[in-house]
Amino acid sequence: MGHIILFFSGGEIMVVVFFALLFFGADAIPGLARTVGKGMREFNKATADLKNEFESHTADIKQDLTKMTDKLEKGVSETKRKIDEELKE
């Protein structure tokens, strides 16, 4: 949430606050701020959950690829060893 404020200058923030006070009134601002904060927390939680799920699925794929790579490397080294033995004979 702090990252968004970096894009606004002090004057722009004051204009936004002024219009918020004008449209919603001073009594509604704290409730509006709580609602926006709650929405941001829920959005960040959903984003983190999605990221964790994605990383979990990609970890499984990465593990499968590592196993396949290990098998291929083992097969290549075995084939190379056999070729070297045949060439020595």
Per-residue pLDDT tens over the stretch 41-56: 999 999 999 999 998 8
For residue 63, give its domain range. Answer: 2-88
Backbone angles phi, psi at 9, to 5 degrees: -85, 170
On average, the pLDDT of the chain sits at 85
Q: What is the pTM of this model?
A: 0.48
Residue 56 CA to residue 38 CA, distance in Å, equals: 27
For the chain, the domain total comes to 1
Q: How confident is the model at residue 1 (pLDDT cuts 50, 70, 90)?
A: very low
